Amino acid sequence: MPRKLPRKRVTASQRGTAVHEAGHAVIGRVLRLPCGYATIVADHDSAGHAITGDPWEIWEHWLDQYDKHRSMPVVLRARIIAFMAGAAAEKELLGSSRGSGEDNRQIAFMADDIMDTFSDDWLRWEARMRRQTARLVRKHRDKIDRVVRALLKRRTLQAHEIDALL
């Protein structure tokens, strides 16, 4: 009978990265954004990442797949929520967030693109979107947890594998 190999020990950092990336991957799909793979394999500038379409790809995807025409500010708000979902998932599943400078940088770029929509009151809109993101993460916590377990086991999940888990 073949011997089982010992399971690799999961570090707190790996679990945090898996929760963060699963948050992006699941909430992006909940919002019907075109999403790709997710990984907890570190590269030159991140501990992992989840792929979400760029704004024009989202706009075209919604039009082609759902026959929904949305303005670019609506597209950007959905994408901002998907970016906020990483830290929100950490807070919900782990009790705290390490934060993500790169996510916050991308959110700031998108907010600048639609500042007129926010009537120059970004702080109010940001707080509102973070609350909405937290509600979405709580509602879809079980899905995020499934993706976390799969990421910790496989380290990289292709888009169709994430879709199958949901």
Class of domain 12-160: mainly alpha
Residue 35 DSSP label: E
User: What's the pTM value of the predicted model, to 2 decimals?
Assistant: 0.88
Q: What is the pLDDT of residue 27?
A: 97
Sign of CA dihedral 93, 97, 100, 104: positive
* Sheet with strand 49-52: strands edge to edge: 49-52, 35-39, 156-157
Give the pLDDT confidence score for residue 133 in this predicted structure.
97
Residue type (1 letter), 116: D
Q: In the chain, what are the domain boundaries? A: 12-160
* Structure-block tokens of residue 19: 């929760």
pLDDT at 7: 59
Distances from the Cα of 83 to the Cαs of 23, 76, 87, 96, 135, in angstroms?
9, 10, 8, 17, 14
* 10-residue mean pLDDT series, the chain (166 residues): 61 90 96 95 86 90 86 89 96 87 87 70 86 97 97 95 96
Q: How much is the pLDDT for 100?
A: 78
How many Å apart are CA 12 and CA 114, to the nearest integer?
Answer: 36
Q: Which among 59, 36, 38 is positioned nearest to 48, based on CA atoms?
A: 38
pLDDT at 89: 96
Supply the pLDDT for residue 78. Answer: 93
Residue 3: what pLDDT?
59
